[in-house]
């Protein structure tokens, strides 16, 4: 008989109730702008942006969005996610007026971005001069009319033929026309982030204002960021971990330092120059720094909090980081996009364990969030030492589901888990985990073919669809390779019976999928190994790579 | 041994030679991402005596920087 949901999986609620008075995370940010207009909100590309100037910029874009909404354009607002000043302002303006924002990576294939625009039926795009070429390429491909809120000076539509797009420039609104507060229900979608899909079509994870507020509240309670803190911002805005930097930082009145793209390979100098106090990155970034000898003892005296997420965190790497940042608390966070950024944590200051395979645990859920294990049929697994199963999550951070995909949402966000007397809504992560009483959950791997490549979630099936299109062959396979402690550094593609050379196939893949999904090698085979079940023998392909026979 | 920066980038990262311009830098071509850059640095360490350090990672992140660091033409 299945027991009631074990309460040891749930962190005990605090006696202090969550702040519920603010419905929109932007409210707190704007309050800060009113009380401390000269405080620094952002450092971007060598320039400071004060909270006051940030608010003025938000109001200009928000005025455009309100006007468009009155004309019936209330679909998600697409934003070119180029980490420019305007991209951050656009995100905040969208939230302010209650419209979801949809970040589009400027280096992703234009066809992929157009597909996201179509899926979301977005009719508004916000961009600036930094992304002129990307905008022109997108608008050339896009069939349905787009209103571009443009902050640049060059004509973005020059040279485009046979289009129905239009351009608007943000203007300073009349003081009287700016509402004191836009009324936004907490269950409104705040943002949509597309993740790799096993069918070849990326799926849009929808996160609500309430989800985001719950996360910000949890992090603020745990780590107490203050207005004197300087937070790193290294993640792409299409990566949900960027939402931590932006909304935790601004909600606390802190300053956000956007690490330039060129320095992301070696950010040590940037950390020291700007005396950053909060660091947040994937373990891969720290590993690269370790590789180049950048983690010297005491080299980051200013950092007081270091968080890592997105990949497995090796214990020795965490230890090296702790030596490099001797006054820093170092923690490992875990969480799928569907559970809003991160939902469990583990502090490495705890006594080193010898039974964790050299990998830092993902630990325990945040306050008022719930984690449990279930079997393949959705039955709860009893909480006991060394219990293993699929990790499932519940609580106020579990997102609304997938944009306009009820079937997939119902499948991954069940409300009818067996023996759950509270009929909670859960998210089935697809991650395998083991439970230990002292250290919480330990990540073991996946139950499917999803892999992590440098922190990015990738469905190998999506790469295989790209390989088929690129090679013209129906018999292809994608294997995560080389394997690392964190997951994988890339993918190797295998193609059978194609006459196209490797370079051509890779080039064509680059036009279909993001860079991190482009196979680093494509191996042309005369014959694809098939197992006794009649399926591609992936173990044999991995063996070929391990043996160096390809 | 490669005698131009173009030949190094072409050989190491398979970037087409005609795509290699003086203003090309990391992330400017899909082949030159973070992993590609590390592969490039390892190639430079093995073949051109460039030690991989925080400074050289940055110096070699552009065509211009590579020309200066290696003392080679484009």
Q: Which residues of A touch B34 (CB under 8 A)?
A: 264-265, 288, 454
Contact criterion met (CB below 8 Å) for B37 and B27: no
Nearest chain B residue to A520 by CA: give it: B31
A265–B61 CB contact, under 8 Å: yes
Contact criterion met (CB below 8 Å) for A518 and A118: no
Instruction: Tell me how far CA of residue A12 lies from CA of A210, A367, A472, in angstroms.
Output: 20, 6, 55
A269–B58 CB contact, under 8 Å: yes
Helix (H, G, I), strand (E, B) or coil at A200: coil
Q: Which residues of A touch B14 (CB under 8 A)?
A: 503, 506
Q: How far is A454 from chain B (nearest CA, A)?
A: 9
B53–A293 CB contact, under 8 Å: yes
In terms of C-beta density within 10 A (0-12 exposed, 13-18 middle, 19 or more buried), how is residue A311 classed?
buried
Number of domains into which chain B is organized = 1
Confidence of residue B2 (pLDDT cuts 50, 70, 90): low
- Exposed e or buried b for every residue in A107-136, given b needs 16+ CB within 10 A? bbbbebbbebbebbebbbbbbbebbbebbb
Average pLDDT on A232-239 reads 96
What lies within 8 Å, CB to CB, of A410 at 6+ separation is none
Could you give the percent of chain A with pLDDT greater than 90?
Answer: 74
Taking 60 as the threshold, does the pLDDT of residue A2 lie above it?
no
Taking 80 as the threshold, does the pLDDT of residue A539 lie above it?
yes
Q: Which residues of A touch B61 (CB under 8 A)?
A: 262, 265
A176-234 pLDDT, tens digit per residue, is 777 777 777 778 899 999 998 888 888 999 999 999 999 999 999 999 999 999 999 99
Q: How far apart are CA A480 and CA A462, in angstroms?
A: 13
B58–A490 CB contact, under 8 Å: no
Confidence of residue A14 (pLDDT cuts 50, 70, 90): very low
Which range among A11-15, A39-43, A138-142, A390-394 shows the weakest confidence by mean pLDDT?
A11-15
A307-333 pLDDT, tens digit per residue, is 999 999 999 999 999 999 999 999 999
A448-490 pLDDT, tens digit per residue, is 888 988 888 999 999 999 999 999 999 999 999 988 877 788 9
Mutate which: B35, B40, B62, vs A, most A CBs within 10 A? B35
Q: How far apart are CA A43 and CA A54, in angstroms?
A: 11
Interface of A with B (CB under 8 A): 107, 261-266, 268-269, 288-289, 291-294, 454, 489-490, 503, 506, 510, 515-516, 518, 520
Q: What is the CATH number of the domain that holds B66?
A: 1.10.1200.10
Closest to A231 in 3D by CA, of A219, A221, A217, A239 = A219
Which range among A291-300, A371-380, B29-38 shows the weakest confidence by mean pLDDT?
B29-38
Q: Which residues of A touch B55 (CB under 8 A)?
A: 266
Q: Which residues of A touch B57 (CB under 8 A)?
A: 265-266, 292
Q: How far is A446 from chain B (nearest CA, A)?
A: 24
Q: Considering the domain A211-446, what is its CATH architecture?
A: 3-Layer(aba) Sandwich (3.40)
For B61, other C-beta atoms within 10 Å of its C-beta total 24
Average pLDDT on A294-316 reads 96
* B25 touches A: beta carbon within 8 Å: yes
Q: How far is A108 from chain B (nearest CA, A)?
A: 10
A454–B25 CB contact, under 8 Å: no
Mutate which: B57, B59, B60, vs A, most A CBs within 10 A? B57
What lies within 8 Å, CB to CB, of A124 at 6+ separation is A65, A68, A73, A75, A77, A78, A146, A147, A148, A149
Does CATH place domain A450-547 in 3.90.1150.220? no
Same fold: A49-184 with A450-547: no
Write out the two tokens for A473.
Answer: 């062959």
Average pLDDT on A66-80 reads 93
A291–B58 CB contact, under 8 Å: no
A268–B54 CB contact, under 8 Å: yes
**Helix, strand, coil fractions of chain B, as percent rounded to 5:** 55, 5, 40
Q: How far apart are CA A14 and CA A3, in angstroms?
A: 25
Taking 60 as the threshold, does the pLDDT of residue A158 lie above it?
yes
* B58 touches A: beta carbon within 8 Å: yes
Domain ranges of chain A: 49-184, 211-446, 450-547
* B42 touches A: beta carbon within 8 Å: no
| Predicted pLDDT of residue A419 | 75
| Predicted pLDDT of residue A550 | 62
The DSSP code for B43 is H
Distance of CA A215 to the CA centre of its chain: 14
| Predicted pLDDT of residue A214 | 96
First to last CA, chain A: 52
ipTM rounded to 2 decimals: 0.85
B58–A265 CB contact, under 8 Å: yes
Average pLDDT on A24-45 reads 94
Contact criterion met (CB below 8 Å) for A494 and A479: yes
Provide the phi-psi class of A206: left if phi over 0, else alpha when psi is between -120 and 50, else beta: beta
Which range among A244-248, A287-291, A354-358, A516-520 shows the weakest confidence by mean pLDDT?
A354-358
| Predicted pLDDT of residue A112 | 93
Domain that holds residue B51: 5-70
Nearest chain A residue to B26 by CA: give it: A262
**Which residue of A107, A490, A506 is in closest CB contact with B27?**
A107
Mutate which: B33, B36, B66, vs A, most A CBs within 10 A? B33
| Predicted pLDDT of residue A73 | 86
For A445, other C-beta atoms within 10 Å of its C-beta total 11
Average pLDDT on A65-84 reads 94
Question: In this structure, is the dihedral angle defined by the CA atoms of residues A435, A438, A440 and A441, taken in order, positive or negative?
Answer: negative
Q: Which residues of A touch B62 (CB under 8 A)?
A: 262
A486-537 pLDDT, tens digit per residue, is 778 899 999 998 899 999 999 999 999 999 999 999 999 999 999 888 889 9
| Predicted pLDDT of residue A350 | 60
| Predicted pLDDT of residue A9 | 43
* Mean pLDDT, all residues of chain A: 90
For A306, other C-beta atoms within 10 Å of its C-beta total 24
Confidence of residue A3 (pLDDT cuts 50, 70, 90): very low
| Predicted pLDDT of residue A174 | 81
Q: What is the CATH number of domain A49-184?
A: 3.40.50.980
* B37 touches A: beta carbon within 8 Å: yes
């Amino acid at each position: 008989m299945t027991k009631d949901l074990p309460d040891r999986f749930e962190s005990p609620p605090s006696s202090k109730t969550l702040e519920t008075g603010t419905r929109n995370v932007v409210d707190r940010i704007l309050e800060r702008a009113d009380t401390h207009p000269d405080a620094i909100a952002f450092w971007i590309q060598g320039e400071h942006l004060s909270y006051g100037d940030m608010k003025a910029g938000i109001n200009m874009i928000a005025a455009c969005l309100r006007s468009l909404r009155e004309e019936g354009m209330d679909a998600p607002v697409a934003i070119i996610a180029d980490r420019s000043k305007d991209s951050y302002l656009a995100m905040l303006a969208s939230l302010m007026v209650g419209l979801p924002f949809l970040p589009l990576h400027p280096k992703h294939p234009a066809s992929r971005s157009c597909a996201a625009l179509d899926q979301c039926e977005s009719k508004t795009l916000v961009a600036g001069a930094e992304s002129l070429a990307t905008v022109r390429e997108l608008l050339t491909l896009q069939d349905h009319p787009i209103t571009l809120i443009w902050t640049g000076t060059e004509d973005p539509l020059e040279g485009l033929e046979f289009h129905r797009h239009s351009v608007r420039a943000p203007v300073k609104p009349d003081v009287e026309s700016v509402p004191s507060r836009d009324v936004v229900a907490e269950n409104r979608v705040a943002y949509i982030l597309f993740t790799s899909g096993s069918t070849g079509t990326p799926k849009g994870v929808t996160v609500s204002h309430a989800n985001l507020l719950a996360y910000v509240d949890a992090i603020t309670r745990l780590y107490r960021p203050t207005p004197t803190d300087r937070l790193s911002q290294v993640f792409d805005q299409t990566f949900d971990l960027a939402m931590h930097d932006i909304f935790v930082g601004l909600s606390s009145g802190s300053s956000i330092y956007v690490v330039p793209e060129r320095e992301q390979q070696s950010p040590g100098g940037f950390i020291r120059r700007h005396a950053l106090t909060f660091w947040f990155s994937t373990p891969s970034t720290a590993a690269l720094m370790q590789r180049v000898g950048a983690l010297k003892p005491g080299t980051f005296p200013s950092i007081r909090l270091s968080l890592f997420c997105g990949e497995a965190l090796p214990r020795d790497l965490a230890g090296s980081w702790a030596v490099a940042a001797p006054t820093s608390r170092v923690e490992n966070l875990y969480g799928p996009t569907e559970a809003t950024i991160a939902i469990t944590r583990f502090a490495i200051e705890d006594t080193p364990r010898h039974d964790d395979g050299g990998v830092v645990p993902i630990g325990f859920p945040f306050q008022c969030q719930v984690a449990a294990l279930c079997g393949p049929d959705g039955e709860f697994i009893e909480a006991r030492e060394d219990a293993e199963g699929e990790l499932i999550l519940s609580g106020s951070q579990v997102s609304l589901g997938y944009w306009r995909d009820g079937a997939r949402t119902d499948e991954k966000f069940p409300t009818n888990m067996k023996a759950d007397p509270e009929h909670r809504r859960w998210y089935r992560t697809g991650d395998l985990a083991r439970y230990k009483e002292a250290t919480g959950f330990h990540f073991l791997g996946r139950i499917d073919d999803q892999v992590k490549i440098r922190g990015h979630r990738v469905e190998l099936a999506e790469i295989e669809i790209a390989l088929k299109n690129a090679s013209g062959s129906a018999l292809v396979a994608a294997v995560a390779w080389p394997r690392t402690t964190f997951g994988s550094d890339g993918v190797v593609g295998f193609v059978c019976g194609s006459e196209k050379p490797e370079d051509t196939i890779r080039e064509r893949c680059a036009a279909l999928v993001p860079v991190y999904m482009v196979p680093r090698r494509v191996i042309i085979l005369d014959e694809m190994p098939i197992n006794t079940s009649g399926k591609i023998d992936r173990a044999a392909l991995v063996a070929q790579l391990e043996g160096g026979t390809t | 041994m490669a005698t131009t920066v173009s030949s190094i980038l072409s050989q190491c990262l398979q970037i087409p030679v005609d795509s290699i311009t003086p203003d090309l830098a990391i992330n400017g071509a899909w082949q030159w991402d973070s992993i590609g850059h590390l592969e490039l640095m390892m190639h430079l360490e093995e073949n051109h005596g460039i030690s991989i350090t925080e400074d050289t990672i940055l110096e070699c992140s552009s065509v211009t920087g590579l020309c200066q660091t290696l003392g080679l033409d484009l």
